[in-house]
Chains A and B, each alone.
Chain A
Amino acid sequence: MKLKQLLSAVSALAIASTSTGYAQEDYSRFGIEADVPGMCSYASIDAKDYSSRTLNIITHAIPVIGEPTALHAQQFEELTGAKVNVVHVPFGDLFQRILIPFQTNQNAYDVLFYASLWVGDLNRYLEPVPQAYQDASGIQDVTRNYIDVAKWDGQMIQYPMDGDRHYLKYRTDIFSNPEMQERFKSETGRDLSIPATWEEYNEVARVFSGWDWSGNGTNNFGSAEVAKRDDLMFSAFISRAAAFAKHPDVKGGFFFDLETMEPLINSPGFVRGLELFVEASKDWAPGGANFGLGDEIFSFGGGQALMSYSWDDAFIQAQQSDSPIRNNVAAAPLPGASEVWNRDTGQWDTFDEPNRAPYITWGWTSAVSNRSQNQDMAFDYLCFFSNEANTLSDLQIGRFGVNPYRKSHFDAALWTEKLGWDADLAASYVETLSSMDSSQNRVFDLRVPGVSQFMSSMATGVASAIAGQMEPQAALDQVAKEWAQIVERIGADTVRDAYASVVALEDNL
């Protein structure tokens, strides 16, 4: 539903109810524009009475996700009379803080907020989302990607409340500047354009690194990337490798061969991605190899870097009202690859139009514990958390970490009218994000038991290559060897069963 239609519907409903003598309560004191009728609305939740009951929630530290969790918990308390305890935990500790109570048979938390790729380990402890909630307007509006992310073995066990993906962000003022275009052409012999391949991305980054193209007296750089080993770098590598390793015509697994469970992480596609990652590192800003997500956000969002790719945060940072580059940025799909490794034929296939493989990288999700004695209240809380009015408000506050995940969010008018974005910019953002939903060549995270072990091993291998400790092929051979050992320890059938559901999403089955 388009935003204007949504607002019109809300207004019409308000007028209708007033004219019939039934005045709706004004909930704008909670910071929302208007309540949106439905089973998760302020009015519906207000009608519930959870007095003398306690809801325990574990979530991320403030502000990302933690702040909206606390805010909506407070509102929920006020509306229902429930007591809501919110425990905030730093990201590095969140997994173990959620898992240990389950493993030791404690009923510590009713509601959990966590990274969706952990579903392989947590699924057995989660309560499926009841059909009534799945039928609510909020979930019905969630896009295909995030419905897929919420499901495990065909069943929705995670409650969608965020949408994440990796995409390219770049500076429009520099790309459209004739002087910059001329300089780029003189150095490379080709016209400056939005990188369509990772080779082009590296080339543009190289030309625009180490000099003051912004005119602010300090050196600028071509690319800011999340490269710190234990700070989500594994996602950056997947983004870079996906286009080379995810062949649109080859089915049956991206990280593993689903039949044999043989790791594919050291196949030529991944190695090519790593080689270009290592090549790019030579042109990063000083300390760029130690950039975590926060550094990447501030490097691009603060105007130091020309391009970047990762989650929405850097883009939202760039669009803050006090940003020096506000409305001078745009979004585009991740660069692609002209040559893609075909593991069926054991050859590189050449593509006229670069192969793109959108990475539906893990994002935040929520769930209800299957040990909870308060499942009704817990689902009501999540339903309330992500109701249309709250989400519309949360999307506008960058630090909350809630990113578009409903069809209605992919309406450029939302971003131009509510946040004052330029029309072209909003259009590029919405088109980029929505195009990922329609892709037939998506890559998802490795949502299997022991995912942390797999990703940790991969990040160590990639970091060793970037640090020059190992060659890319040797580093990924080592990762493949460790992955095979992890599969052996966990059990090939256990990993295969879980991985099959990921492959089903990637193969559009």
Chain B
Amino acid sequence: MTDPFKLWSYLSSEPLLWLWATLIAYWIGDAIFKSVNRSPFANPVMIAVVILGAVLLMTGTPYQRYFDGAQFVHFMLGPATVCLAVPLHANLPKVKRALLPIAAGLIAGSVTAIVSVLAIAKSMGAGPELLASLAPKSVTAPVAIGISQSLGGEPSLTAALVILTGMIGAITVTPMLNLLGFRDWRARGFAVGVAAHGIGTARAFQVHETAGAFASIGMGLNAVLTAFLAPVVLSYFG
């Protein structure tokens, strides 16, 4: 029989193992999510991240080696973003009728997201580098990283903050807006797309197709607006 350590060192350095682990972890997360009546608190992304994070820490596997395998899943984010055109197209008449609410909700949500995170973090003692990394936290990762870089933030920390923001939004949006009595799927979806980018959008699609389509629009528009707003707002917190 082969030395099990040799076998492990072979498997853990090949893409196959970590690609498989990513699918299994998500499968477990999705099964738990469904078994608790799709409760937002059992967010499948969060469960899968916790499982995989624990496995990496226990096996001493560096993130980069994990990512070599998982990048095949990660790659699909680009094509999936393009595919958001499909539900968007189906909802185009609704979107055209809601252009003013969309514009107003975008500005309100985007400004609130940037100003509030900087105000709270600064009052709790965050330094300039952390503030710059936090400013674009509500925006889809590739755009947020670019913004953070141009503001003097730490790009890879920004990526982690962006994902955390997405999970927080996806978990809190449904119970919070139910509690406050919001029934307009367009408003609910749009707001979570603006505040919590793609992970919020994925959550919106789990709840309602119209909410998902409006979340896609919110995510796309806020990426543009934050690129312009973040430097301006940050300069007041310098």
| A and B found bound together | no
A interface, CB within 8 angstroms of B: none
B interface, CB within 8 angstroms of A: none
